[in-house]
Chain A
Amino acid sequence: MPHRVEPPAKDSSANVPPQTNRRRFIKKSAAAVVGAGSVFHVPYAFARTRPRLRVLGMHVTLQEELRHRAEHDLGIDLVFDVRGAAAVLQKASTQPESFDVYEQSSNSISIMQQAGAIQPLETARITHWDRINALTKTGRLTPDAPLGRGDAPHKMLYVQPDGRSGSAPSDRVAFLPYVHNVDAFGYNAQVVPQGRAYETESWGWLLDERWAGRVGLVNEPTIGLFDAALAAQAKGLVTFNDIGAMSRPELDALFEVLIDFKLRGHFNGIWSSVPQSIDFMQRGQVVIESMFSPAISSLRSQGVPAVYAAPKEGYRAWHGVMCLSAAAKGATLDAAYDYMNWWLTAWPGAFITRQGYYMPIPELVRTQLAPEEWDYWYDGKPAVRDLPGTDGRTVVTAGSVRNGGSYTTRLSNIAVWNTVMDTYEYSLQRWYEFLTA
């Protein structure tokens, strides 16, 4: 029934709930690794005082298991300031002195830059910079993959000579790309007939009259708006010149459709947190809704045959980034670089993989995964055995296949990235209208 309603996140992974049992699993894993001898260098062992790093971000990456592991590996103290996306952005953009490392999705970078709240990263201090894959750097994993619309991270990765972000490579980057994924909608296959990935599964299902009164949407314009826009476009109700940069008339047309559907009772849940989205589908309040990957895993582990769609129109993608506070300097700055480099290593990569997310250096992650885990999570092959999540519980049963295929296939089918459009303020007004209709 009641949920702890969290502030919405632009980053879909922002709503991953911390789970105690996951922590136990991670602790065990960490203990095993420590027992085998840590591979991490402790650069500040000689420091008179233990560095303290303040990280401002969201739930997806600011998990206790990760904090403990990082503190142990790095010999630093980590203070996680976990907030919702809006709160994170609000605090980060106005109080850069209140944090050292900022974790958000890539679409917030322009705002942070405009606010002067972050400082560029030197690629030379990023240990595995060269091994980071092409998705972040070029927008494509393969040369023939289409570019997703909207705020693709490569468009704002490199810091240009004028201090602004751009796609032209340079020695300085606005952020460290790390956790990323593609989102779609999920559906209960007990009610909604299961479709075929990239063939029959379509965003248009969200506006299918068959599921009227049982459809959910995420309460975030920079996310839910694109889900709804992709749905309306797939149904032929609205057309967009550029779905990643909707104009006011396009927004008006879209919201006319959405409000009309809402008034007709089409939507039965506008969720603001992953647990809420799980609860909606678990209770049967909705049978199809915008969803994030952890919610699908959770529902499946509870016996709900939730399917994460691979829409033929393409996914909505998001990319997590880490930024340096404009105020960070000295030892804190060094600790921040170490923390960022730690994230690109195998253990956190494997940890986050088991929650369904990807990391930009898959081959490093692979060293920490069992072969069958790699096959399932990255190669899109059937699981040859039950696979555990971060808490040790089975989240993938033997024989399951990740809908949408391999990492390359999925990340090569991006329709749009989470984006803060120029019409953002106007979309907020219309979104409010939609919510209160």
Chain B
Amino acid sequence: MTPRPLPSPPPNAPAPRPRFGVSRRISLGFGLVLLLHIAIAALNHFGLTQASADFAAYQANTLAAQRVVAISRNAFQLQRNVMLFAHTGSSGTARRVQQLHDKLSEQLSDGKTATPQAGPRDTYDALAGLLGNYMTGFDQVKQGRGIRQSLAYTALPQIGNTATDALSQITEDAWAQHNFRRAALAGRAKEKLLQTSADALAYLRSPSIQRVTHALKALDECKDLLNQLSDTAANQAQTDQVARVQALLPRYESTLLKMVQTTRGYLHLVSVVMAGEAAEFVRYSDAFQQQTLHELDTLAARMTQENHRFKAVSNGVSVVSILLGVLAAWLIGRSVVPPLNAITRTLTRLSRDESETEIPGLNRRDEIGQMAAAAQVFRGKADETRLLLEDSRRLGEELHDKNEEMQRFAYTVSHDLKAPLVSCTGLLNFASEDLESGDHDKVRSAMGRVQANVKRMDRSIQDLLDLSQIGRVRHDPEFLDMLRLLGQVAADLRPRADAAQATITIANDLPMVVADRNRMIEVFENLLVNALKYGCPTPGGQITVGGSANEQETRLFVRDNGPGIAPRYHDKIFGLFQRLDKSQEGSGAGLSIVQRIMEMHGGRIWVESDGSAATCFWIAFPHAAAPAHHASDAAV
């Protein structure tokens, strides 16, 4: 019995620590997705913060724009009321101017407070400065207008009335004195003075230097008339009367000119200085408004752009995140699931005793590789178990065969040994009877037959001993020159071949065989003896020994040209003490011995014959198989 070699033991060393294992890949994948989510969250936070800041800035700018618009509107109202005051002098209008100024100051102050940027704050300061200058001008306007009113409606009429009253008195006195020339001169002087007064009032209504010139001309004419009037004075009293009027006229003229200059002054203030301030105020506020609106537009555009950009980036990051997540899942899945499935399938196949299954992932240096290594161990154990089971089964079968063989052997041995004993017993009984009868010849004959049976039994026992010796007596295998070995065997059998008139032919190209020399002699002695005994029943028998070798084994044969062996006996003939032709001397143990020797060498023996002519016994030595004595003793 040749034991099957066990599979190589699986590696017991732990799998190398994975450099980039599944857990790390999964961690990396989730980490990547987590990072992207964090990025999206950060992006969202940044975007929302930016949007909030932009919205706040937009609101602030909107408020600033509204504030500037309100300031411009109030500035326009202020200017309108100032102009209205310049023409009407209404105290209510002046109060409204002050209210508008206060309101504007408050708006400018609020605007500056609410504006963090230096530029707009400077603008608010500039507007406040312009407003201050404007109101300073307005105060001067009020003062000038007050002076003008005082001059025009108090001082000037007072002087004028005094003068005209005096001239009226002179006229009345002249009429009373029938001094018609004096009365006429006084009347005309009064008329000129009234004309001057009328021109002065006309100047107030519609300022024009022509009216002043006209007034001064009338005043000069009045002075001339007063001079003429003075010349008509008849006494000191009349002279003094005219002189008092004459003394009034320079004051009247001076007051008139002051009124004119005051009017011009506040008109200049209103029309030029304050209008200039207002124009500058409007220019500033317009520029400020435009700048604010431009900033609003810019901010709105930027917000829109930022929104689009943020949306695009957010979408992009989300898409990238999704794609990377899917990719990571796919990569991880591809990296983990197929090997797991393969290992699962492998384990399933192993569970079905499909031992030739390839273990996937053995070359991996990760958890899958570790799992594959474990599966490999499992497969090794399974193979080992399977082989052990097969060995067990085979050994069982062999044991059964051996038992049967043993039974047959015991039967055969007992039968073949018992038969001579029975014969001996019977012959001894006959001899005993013959001895009592005194028939010594019969006794001698019987004893001779007893002796023959004993010899036969002895030979049988010797064969049994030989058979049992096979495998126990071992010699080292060696390269055997079969031609030489067979030549020696054939030479030893020549007497028997000659007796049988048979020819033994040995091929010259016999292959070399590695085997136990003595056992090979024993094999070929048995085969050649058998061939001489049973294959050469008649003279002229031909016994041929040949052989050949192929890749698997080396074969040798012994062929005779005898009657052949029927195929039904091809197995039987290898049984112990089995003889088809009992006419020939022998125990029937030869082929059993040959078969046992071949088995010991890992080889085999079989017979080819159709039972009609010629028999060829083949023995084969496998190239890979070591001689049987290399195996365990248990097989013997």
A-side residues, CB < 8 A to B, are 1-5, 7-8, 84, 86-87, 89-90, 93-94, 111, 114-116, 219-221, 269-270, 272, 422-426, 428-429, 431-432, 435-436
Contact = CB atoms under 8 A, between A and B. Distances in A.
A86 B265 contact: yes
Interface stretch (B109-117, B275-283, B329-337, B339-347): B275-283
Given A425-B209, A436-B79, A94 B261 contact: yes
Contact of A431 (B262, B269, B271): B271
Contact of A422 (B213, B270, B272, B273): B213
A423 B125 contact: no
Contacts of B208: 422-423, 425-426
A309 to B, nearest CB: 24
Contact of B272 (A115, A116, A219, A423): A219
A94 B270 CA distance: 18
Given A2-B122, A94-B261, A436-B278, A86 B209 contact: no
Given A272-B280, A422-B213, A436-B278, A428 B262 contact: no
22 contacts: A1-B122, A4-B129, A5-B280, A84-B273, A86-B268, A94-B261, A94-B265, A111-B261, A114-B257, A114-B261, A115-B254, A115-B257, A115-B261, A116-B254, A221-B271, A272-B273, A272-B280, A422-B208, A426-B208, A428-B264, A432-B275, A435-B272
A90 B265 contact: yes
Contacts of B283: 269
Contacts of A111: 261, 264
Interface string B105-131: 000000000000001001101100110
A391 B456 CA distance: 161
A272 B130 CA distance: 12
A116 B257 contact: yes
Interface string B593-635: 0000000000000000000000000000000000000000000
Contacts of A426: 207-208
B273 A7 contact: yes
B264 to A, nearest CB: 7
Interface centre among A86, A90, A272, A425 (most CB of B within 10 A): A425
Contacts of A269: 283
Interface residues of B, number: 43
Contacts of A429: 267, 271
A221 B272 contact: yes
A5 B267 contact: no
A115 B210 contact: no
Interface centre among A84, A87, A432 (most CB of B within 10 A): A432
Contacts of B269: 86, 90
Contacts of A114: 257, 260-261
B278 A428 contact: no
Nearest to A276: B280
Contacts of A221: 271-272
Interface of B: 79, 83, 119, 122-123, 125-126, 129-130, 133, 137, 140, 144, 147, 207-210, 213, 254, 257-258, 260-265, 267-273, 275-280, 283-284
A138 B273 CA distance: 33
Nearest to A162: B220
Interface centre among B126, B137, B273 (most CB of A within 10 A): B273
Nearest to B280: A5
B279 A436 contact: yes
A90 B209 contact: no
A90 B139 CA distance: 13
A424 B275 contact: no
B74 to A, nearest CB: 16
A342 B283 CA distance: 43
A424 B209 CA distance: 7
B271 A93 contact: no
B140 A272 contact: no
A110 B500 CA distance: 185
Given A2-B125, A4-B129, A422-B209, A219 B258 contact: no
A217 to B, nearest CB: 11
A78 B230 CA distance: 47
Contacts of B258: 93-94, 115
A344 to B, nearest CB: 29
A114 B216 CA distance: 10
Contacts of A86: 265, 268-269, 272-273
Contact of B140 (A90, A219, A220, A435): A90
Nearest to B265: A90
Given A116-B254, A221-B271, 11 more contacts: A2-B284, A84-B273, A89-B261, A93-B261, A94-B147, A111-B264, A422-B208, A428-B267, A428-B268, A435-B271, A436-B279
Nearest to B134: A5
B263 to A, nearest CB: 8
Contacts of B267: 425, 428-429
Contacts of A8: 272-273, 276
Contacts of A116: 254, 257
Contacts of B257: 93, 114-116
